[in-house]
Amino acid sequence: MNDQALIAKINEGLKDKVVAITSPAPRRIFFKVTTDNLLTAVSWLRQELGITHLSTISGVDLGQSFELLYHFANNYCAITLRAEIPRDQPVLPSICEVIPGAILYERELQDMFGIVVQNIPDGRPLVLPDDWPAGNYPLRKDWKYERPPEVIPGGKS
Protein backbone atom coordinates (compact mmCIF):
# COMPACT_ATOMS: atom_id res chain seq x y z
CA MET A 1 0.00 0.00 0.00
CA ASN A 2 1.38 3.43 -0.89
CA ASP A 3 0.46 6.91 0.24
CA GLN A 4 -1.80 7.69 -2.70
CA ALA A 5 -3.77 4.47 -2.30
CA LEU A 6 -4.16 5.14 1.42
CA ILE A 7 -5.37 8.71 0.81
CA ALA A 8 -7.87 7.40 -1.76
CA LYS A 9 -9.06 4.78 0.72
CA ILE A 10 -9.56 7.37 3.47
CA ASN A 11 -11.42 9.69 1.08
CA GLU A 12 -13.58 6.84 -0.07
CA GLY A 13 -14.33 5.49 3.38
CA LEU A 14 -15.02 8.73 5.22
CA LYS A 15 -16.28 10.68 2.17
CA ASP A 16 -17.38 14.23 3.07
CA LYS A 17 -16.35 13.84 6.71
CA VAL A 18 -12.76 14.57 5.65
CA VAL A 19 -12.28 18.35 5.61
CA ALA A 20 -8.73 18.36 4.27
CA ILE A 21 -6.13 15.72 3.59
CA THR A 22 -2.43 16.21 2.92
CA SER A 23 0.71 14.14 2.73
CA PRO A 24 3.66 16.50 3.30
CA ALA A 25 6.24 13.71 3.46
CA PRO A 26 6.40 10.07 2.43
CA ARG A 27 4.56 7.73 4.81
CA ARG A 28 3.01 10.68 6.64
CA ILE A 29 -0.66 11.59 6.26
CA PHE A 30 -2.55 14.41 7.89
CA PHE A 31 -6.28 14.71 7.62
CA LYS A 32 -8.77 16.96 9.28
CA VAL A 33 -12.26 16.20 10.54
CA THR A 34 -14.78 18.20 12.53
CA THR A 35 -15.18 17.32 16.21
CA ASP A 36 -18.65 15.82 15.57
CA ASN A 37 -17.10 13.24 13.27
CA LEU A 38 -14.03 12.58 15.40
CA LEU A 39 -15.30 9.40 17.02
CA THR A 40 -16.59 8.07 13.69
CA ALA A 41 -13.23 8.71 12.05
CA VAL A 42 -11.28 7.04 14.83
CA SER A 43 -13.49 3.96 14.83
CA TRP A 44 -13.29 3.82 11.03
CA LEU A 45 -9.47 3.92 11.23
CA ARG A 46 -9.55 1.12 13.72
CA GLN A 47 -12.03 -1.11 11.95
CA GLU A 48 -11.12 -0.57 8.30
CA LEU A 49 -7.39 0.13 8.45
CA GLY A 50 -6.67 -1.86 11.62
CA ILE A 51 -4.87 1.05 13.27
CA THR A 52 -4.95 0.49 17.02
CA HIS A 53 -1.84 2.34 18.06
CA LEU A 54 -2.41 5.90 19.20
CA SER A 55 1.07 7.36 19.72
CA THR A 56 -0.08 10.50 21.46
CA ILE A 57 -2.50 13.40 21.32
CA SER A 58 -0.86 16.78 21.00
CA GLY A 59 -2.53 20.10 21.50
CA VAL A 60 -1.69 23.44 19.91
CA ASP A 61 -2.92 26.83 21.07
CA LEU A 62 -3.68 28.77 17.88
CA GLY A 63 -5.00 31.88 19.64
CA GLN A 64 -8.68 31.78 18.72
CA SER A 65 -8.87 28.00 18.78
CA PHE A 66 -7.15 24.86 19.94
CA GLU A 67 -5.98 22.25 17.49
CA LEU A 68 -5.75 18.63 18.62
CA LEU A 69 -3.59 16.19 16.71
CA TYR A 70 -4.24 12.50 17.21
CA HIS A 71 -1.12 10.69 16.06
CA PHE A 72 -1.88 7.15 14.94
CA ALA A 73 0.68 4.75 13.57
CA ASN A 74 0.81 1.34 11.99
CA ASN A 75 3.59 -0.67 10.37
CA TYR A 76 3.50 1.38 7.21
CA CYS A 77 2.91 5.00 8.09
CA ALA A 78 1.90 7.61 10.63
CA ILE A 79 -1.57 9.03 10.25
CA THR A 80 -2.44 12.20 12.09
CA LEU A 81 -6.02 13.19 12.68
CA ARG A 82 -6.56 16.88 13.20
CA ALA A 83 -9.50 18.50 14.94
CA GLU A 84 -10.04 22.12 15.83
CA ILE A 85 -12.20 23.46 18.65
CA PRO A 86 -13.00 27.09 19.51
CA ARG A 87 -11.23 28.60 22.48
CA ASP A 88 -14.33 30.01 24.14
CA GLN A 89 -16.09 26.63 24.02
CA PRO A 90 -13.37 24.00 24.42
CA VAL A 91 -15.43 20.80 24.36
CA LEU A 92 -14.18 17.57 22.84
CA PRO A 93 -15.70 14.07 22.59
CA SER A 94 -13.74 11.28 24.25
CA ILE A 95 -12.37 8.51 22.04
CA CYS A 96 -11.91 6.11 24.95
CA GLU A 97 -14.68 3.77 23.84
CA VAL A 98 -12.66 3.00 20.69
CA ILE A 99 -9.12 3.42 22.05
CA PRO A 100 -9.20 2.91 25.85
CA GLY A 101 -5.54 3.92 26.24
CA ALA A 102 -6.36 7.45 25.11
CA ILE A 103 -7.60 8.28 28.59
CA LEU A 104 -4.14 9.32 29.81
CA TYR A 105 -3.71 11.80 26.97
CA GLU A 106 -7.23 13.12 27.39
CA ARG A 107 -6.76 13.66 31.11
CA GLU A 108 -3.53 15.49 30.33
CA LEU A 109 -5.37 17.67 27.80
CA GLN A 110 -7.88 18.57 30.50
CA ASP A 111 -5.05 19.52 32.85
CA MET A 112 -2.84 21.46 30.49
CA PHE A 113 -5.35 23.15 28.17
CA GLY A 114 -8.57 23.22 30.19
CA ILE A 115 -10.39 21.30 27.47
CA VAL A 116 -13.59 19.59 28.64
CA VAL A 117 -13.54 16.01 27.36
CA GLN A 118 -17.08 14.65 27.21
CA ASN A 119 -17.88 11.06 28.25
CA ILE A 120 -14.40 10.48 29.64
CA PRO A 121 -14.54 7.40 31.93
CA ASP A 122 -12.37 8.97 34.63
CA GLY A 123 -11.71 12.68 34.46
CA ARG A 124 -9.50 13.22 37.50
CA PRO A 125 -6.42 15.49 37.16
CA LEU A 126 -3.34 13.59 36.07
CA VAL A 127 -0.11 15.55 35.65
CA LEU A 128 -0.42 18.70 37.73
CA PRO A 129 0.34 18.84 41.48
CA ASP A 130 -2.44 18.09 43.98
CA ASP A 131 -2.58 21.67 45.28
CA TRP A 132 -2.71 23.24 41.81
CA PRO A 133 -5.14 26.21 41.76
CA ALA A 134 -8.18 25.70 39.54
CA GLY A 135 -8.41 27.58 36.27
CA ASN A 136 -4.68 27.62 35.57
CA TYR A 137 -3.75 25.86 32.36
CA PRO A 138 0.03 25.95 31.76
CA LEU A 139 0.06 25.20 28.04
CA ARG A 140 -2.30 28.00 27.08
CA LYS A 141 -0.29 30.79 25.49
CA ASP A 142 -1.95 33.54 27.53
CA TRP A 143 -1.11 31.88 30.85
CA LYS A 144 1.46 33.81 32.85
CA TYR A 145 3.44 32.27 35.66
CA GLU A 146 4.55 34.35 38.62
CA ARG A 147 7.57 32.69 40.13
CA PRO A 148 7.53 32.75 43.92
CA PRO A 149 10.53 34.62 45.37
CA GLU A 150 13.38 32.35 46.45
CA VAL A 151 15.04 32.67 49.81
CA ILE A 152 18.78 32.28 50.24
CA PRO A 153 19.33 30.34 53.49
CA GLY A 154 21.62 32.33 55.75
CA GLY A 155 21.34 35.38 53.50
CA LYS A 156 23.62 36.58 50.72
CA SER A 157 27.32 36.51 51.52
Catalog residues that contact another protein under the rule CB under 8 A.
Answer: 128-132, 138, 145, 147-148, 150-151, 153
Residue 123 CB, shortest distance to another protein, in Å, is: 19
Residue 69 CB, shortest distance to another protein, in Å, is: 23
Pick between residue 20 and residue 151 the one whose CB is nearest to another protein. 151
Pick between residue 122 and residue 150 the one whose CB is nearest to another protein. 150
What are the φ and ψ backbone dihedral angles of 97, each rounded to 5 degrees? -70, -20
Identity of the residue numbered 86? P
Residue 154 CB, shortest distance to another protein, in Å, is: 9
Pick between residue 63 and residue 153 the one whose CB is nearest to another protein. 153
Per-position b or e across 23-32, b if 16+ CB within 10 A of its CB: beeeeebbbb
Q: Which of helix, strand or coil describes residue 77?
A: coil
Measure the CA–CA gap between 11 and 141, rounded to whole angstroms: 34
